[in-house]
Structure 1
């Protein structure tokens, strides 16, 4: 990874944990670009900090929450939520904490069921996802899964309809439409949108053609890696699959993959498909994608537009790579977000 790309990604929001996981298990380990992090949560507020205690370098991800604070399992030092300030040194109960005793805290926020963080002040806010706050929608969150590939490979795969008929024969069946119709990609800053009609064959989910047959896909991609696909079913109802990838090595060739699925009330009312069934089907689809992702070479999709062959179905891919290169080059104006 070139230095300019590394710097761009340091100023990007990435998901580091599911909120429900932090609530259930306590402090969790996370990583962005090879930097080890600890995620902890108290009173509805998540904190993302450096993973190692400033005293003797103990891994705080194996600590616990005590009186609303993160306690180091080695010497019992405690750190406040939000600020990461050292609030207790049990071996010196009558003295203030020594210098350099606070945790380094990173910009963080909660959105769409995830804890997000950035290594530096983010250049842009997170894209809007109105379905997440619509009471007619319900969501389930999959993953996370670590994959040996770059975030562009993952992001492109999610939108590549021409692989459905081959990679997803197991989850979708043998009758998936192979031809990708011509389409137009609409760009707005770092965002891309396009629409395609598709026939998934109608054999999946015990032959439930209402959700596994013909439908319209509205694709959305916000570089560098925020992506959704909204399906509109002919007889009513919608689903929304959301995908994020966080680089967890300095070279960017390993990512942590997060995904969610949402459905509106009409999916069950008109087609009898509930959230558990839709989530399971989507998990099967991703499970077929993962081994493909890890066998692609190079491990990251090249930004050089001439080193690979392209077809008309790859139009979105070319536009995405152009935007990504512009982000690296700093040619797209930034919109600084509040943390």
Structure 2
């Protein structure tokens, strides 16, 4: 599978698990159609291909002992770097074969999420982390399990003109559905829209109506953000979306919201509001046809308000993204 994937897909950081999901036992997960195993030791989090090279048994069936992952089938032991450090059936004086290794992947833990890459990430952390304001309060939302292609989920997130209908009464009002013309620009590898003004009856679940100013950003094939500000009072938040493409039609979406206001307020209200929005979006993204996002711009009809969607599809094509696209 990975031989058919472009570096633009393989070399990304993907959110895989909430930190609390990874405890004392290895956990199996799927990323871009490939089975991986994640486990925790005293040295941090680790990710391997979920396969023991000896007889092909998933390493996720094993256990953790003394910072080593032990295969359930024959007791082969692997350290956090993937090297096999003991084979019980091998006499002590015999050297462990050089080939006795697990395929190790990059893995980190940030913002309560375990991230992994099955390629060679260019950055030590997801590239959008540098866009987080250190003075803002960050809250994690999700993960949300969706029976939809990753690119469909990202494009829905970038679609400003659905707010007035799918999220009417919350993020929009169908009486004010016209979208001003805007442009999409690129700077330092990030796609970014001009500011788009949207009337919102209940902008973030606090019952306040306002004219919000939106800016959408795309950092990679499966990562995007919404920057929303209220010029009247200076409120600002950055909502980051990172999607784990499990299979071509199944995904896990994680969100991080960094806000400049109500820093002492409980996060639960903001999380609950986002939960509601996701359930409204679920009906749309799980029923789109075709399931995979068409990269041929002639396959679907586009309007001026879809400029960001068009730019995103063009960028996916340039990146060589074939997973979740048609």
**TM-score computed with the length of structure 1 as normaliser:** 0.81
Alignment of 1:94-243 (within 5 A): 94=92, 95-98=94-97, 100-122=99-121, 126-130=126-130, 132=132, 134-145=134-145, 147-169=146-168, 172=171, 177-188=176-187, 190-194=189-193, 195-202=195-202, 205=205, 207=207, 209=208, 213-233=210-230, 234-243=232-241
2:256 aligned to 253, 260, 263, which one? 260
Contact 2:8 2:319 in 1 (8 A): no
Q: By percentage of residues, which structure has more helix? A: 1
Pair 1:277–1:131, CA change in 2 (3 A): farther
- Give 5+ residue unaligned stretches, structure 1: 330-339
Pair 1:196–1:49, CA change in 2 (3 A): same
Structure 2: distance between partners of 1:285 and 1:169? 10
Structure 1: distance between partners of 2:278 and 2:66? 40
Structure 2: distance between partners of 1:133 and 1:65? 37
Contact 2:216 2:225 in 1 (8 A): yes
Q: Aligned pairs, how many?
A: 317
Query: What secondary structure is seen at the aligned counterpart in 1 of 2:291?
Result: coil
Corresponding residue of 2:291 = 299
Deviation sequence 1:235-284 (CA, Å, 0-9, x none): 233222211223323xx3333322222323x2246xxx531110111111
Contact 1:177 1:199 in 2 (8 A): yes
Shift of 1:177: 4.1
Corresponding residue of 1:28 = 27
Corresponding residue of 2:76 = 77
Corresponding residue of 2:324 = none
Shift of 1:166: 1.7
Query: What secondary structure is seen at the aligned counterpart in 2 of 1:29?
Result: strand
Pair 1:263–1:62, CA change in 2 (3 A): farther
Shift of 1:98: 4.5
Shift of 1:315: 0.7
Pair 1:327–1:174, CA change in 2 (3 A): closer
Shift of 1:10: 4.7
Pair 1:52–1:177, CA change in 2 (3 A): farther
Contact 1:22 1:40 in 2 (8 A): no
Contact 2:140 2:254 in 1 (8 A): no
Corresponding residue of 2:38 = 39
Shift of 1:168: 1.9
Structure 2: distance between partners of 1:22 and 1:132? 25
Contact 2:12 2:119 in 1 (8 A): no
Pair 1:92–1:176, CA change in 2 (3 A): farther
Q: By percentage of residues, which structure has more strand? A: 2
Greater shift, 158-167 or 131-140, is seen at 131-140
Structure 2: distance between partners of 1:263 and 1:176? 28
Deviation sequence 1:161-220 (CA, Å, 0-9, x none): 11112212475586784222222211236421122222221387362x1xx643222221
- Give 5+ residue unaligned stretches, structure 2: 322-326
Greater shift, 15-24 or 152-161, is seen at 15-24
Deviation sequence 1:144-166 (CA, Å, 0-9, x none): 41x33322211110011111122
2:267 aligned to 270, 275, 290, which one? 275
